[in-house]
């Protein structure tokens, strides 16, 4: 069976901007444009480097399918995540500086606004992109009256009650379920099962226990690093759980976008 993006590309309600010829790019005032934003960085030994980008792509396509929006090309390079969140320094961090990232996002959004889009949604899956996305959105909306920008991370809309229920069912506390943990691993298992190396997940709960700190130290303390890059736990991850999470996020995301763009746009 074709994957979700392949199916959605065939839906008349979904328009990928990169597939259009220039005479067909005529956005109406009610059209949303959705920009998936990801990153390229390690997610333990079991998930692909592009996990964040895969997740953003997935939810951007589902959102466009739900609300009839347009999908812009993905921004797949993000701002580097601190090594303590990755469990150490591993190959695969391919990032750009915050200044460059902000400039790129600002110019992409400005171009979309210049072509007539007034409802812009950034679907992001990399936590260290957030402040720079906000800076770009502030810059654009200050210079472009009549434009509204929504920045949403998939975890913003999954719902507290839903996450609490997952924690109770799985026995995995939420404090142990962040980067490359149970929920994120499950999402990628659902979205792109062939890209996940399940044989590299720890067996029988045998995981390292690095010291976790909520602040940042440079260079990274040795006791906060791991040999595998699994800082949290991916125990209990599975495609079925990922499908539940994906369906929940997709519903909540569409509801949030409808709600935030129901009010009149600023003039």
Concatenated DSSP letters of 148-161: EEEEEEGGGSS-HH
pLDDT band at 48 (very low <50, low <70, confident <90, very high): very high
Span of 124-133, 184-193, 216-225 with lowest mean pLDDT = 216-225
Question: Between 4 and 155, whose confidence is greater?
Answer: 155
pLDDT band at 207 (very low <50, low <70, confident <90, very high): low
Contact 122, 106 (CB under 8 A): no
pLDDT at 154 over 90: yes
**CATH assignment of the domain containing 170:** 3.40.50.10310
**pLDDT computed for residue 163 by the predictor:** 92
**pLDDT computed for residue 7 by the predictor:** 47
Tell me, yes or no, whether 136 lies in a domain.
yes
**pLDDT computed for residue 2 by the predictor:** 46
Tell me, yes or no, whether 5 lies in a domain.
no
CA distances from 120 to 80, 142, 246 (A): 24, 14, 22
* Mean pLDDT, residues 198-217 taken together: 79
C-alpha count within 13 angstroms, C-beta hemisphere, residue 223: 3
Domain count along the chain: 1
For residue 228, the SS3 value is: coil
Tell me, yes or no, whether 10 lies in a domain.
no
Q: What domain range is 125 assigned to?
A: 29-260
* H and E: helices and strands count for the chain: 8, 5
Between CA 196 and CA 192 the distance in angstroms is 7
Tens of pLDDT, residue by residue over 104-146, are 999 999 999 999 999 999 999 999 999 999 999 999 999 998 9
| Nearest alpha carbon to residue 100 among 56, 139, 132 | 132
Tell me, yes or no, whether 99 lies in a domain.
yes
Beta strands 15-16 and 70-71 are: parallel
Q: What would the two tokens of residue 181 be? A: 């943990």
Tell me, yes or no, whether 12 lies in a domain.
no
| Nearest alpha carbon to residue 169 among 125, 259, 177 | 177
Mean pLDDT score of the chain, rounded to an integer?
Answer: 90
Tell me, yes or no, whether 9 lies in a domain.
no
CA angle 159, 163, 164 (to 5 degrees): 115
**pLDDT computed for residue 1 by the predictor:** 40
Tell me, yes or no, whether 174 lies in a domain.
yes
**pLDDT computed for residue 4 by the predictor:** 52
**pLDDT computed for residue 233 by the predictor:** 85
Query: What strand order describes the sheet that includes 119-124?
Result: 15-16, 70-71, 32-37, 119-124, 148-153
pLDDT at 241 over 70: yes
CA distances from 67 to 31, 60, 62, 142, 220 (A): 9, 11, 9, 26, 44
Tell me, yes or no, whether 197 lies in a domain.
yes
């Amino acid at each position: 069976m074709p994957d979700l993006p392949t199916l959605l590309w065939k839906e008349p309600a979904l328009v990928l901007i990169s597939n259009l010829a220039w005479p067909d790019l005529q956005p109406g005032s009610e059209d949303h444009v959705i920009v998936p934003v990801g990153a390229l960085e390690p997610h333990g030994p079991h998930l692909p480097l592009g996990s964040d980008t895969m997740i953003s792509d997935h939810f951007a396509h589902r959102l466009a399918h739900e609300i009839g929006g347009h999908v812009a090309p993905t921004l797949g390079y993000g701002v580097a995540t601190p090594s303590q969140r990755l469990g150490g320094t591993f190959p695969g961090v391919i990032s750009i500086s915050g200044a460059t990232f902000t400039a790129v996002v600002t110019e992409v959004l400005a171009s979309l606004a210049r072509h007539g889009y007034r409802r812009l949604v950034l679907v992001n899956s990399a936590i260290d992109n957030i402040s720079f996305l906000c800076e770009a959105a502030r810059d654009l909306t200050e210079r472009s009256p009549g434009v509204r920008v929504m920045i949403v991370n998939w975890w913003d809309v999954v719902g507290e009650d839903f996450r609490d229920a997952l924690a109770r069912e799985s026995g995995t506390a939420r404090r142990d379920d962040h980067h490359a943990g149970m929920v994120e691993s499950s999402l990628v298992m659902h979205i792109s099962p062939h890209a996940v190396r399940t044989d590299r997940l720890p067996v029988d709960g045998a995981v390292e226990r690095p010291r976790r700190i909520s602040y940042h130290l440079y260079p990274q303390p040795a006791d906060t690093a791991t040999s595998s890059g699994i800082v949290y736990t991916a125990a209990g991850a599975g495609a079925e759980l990922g499908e539940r999470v994906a369906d929940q996020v997709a519903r909540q995301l569409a509801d949030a976008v409808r709600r935030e763009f129901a009010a009149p746009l600023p003039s």
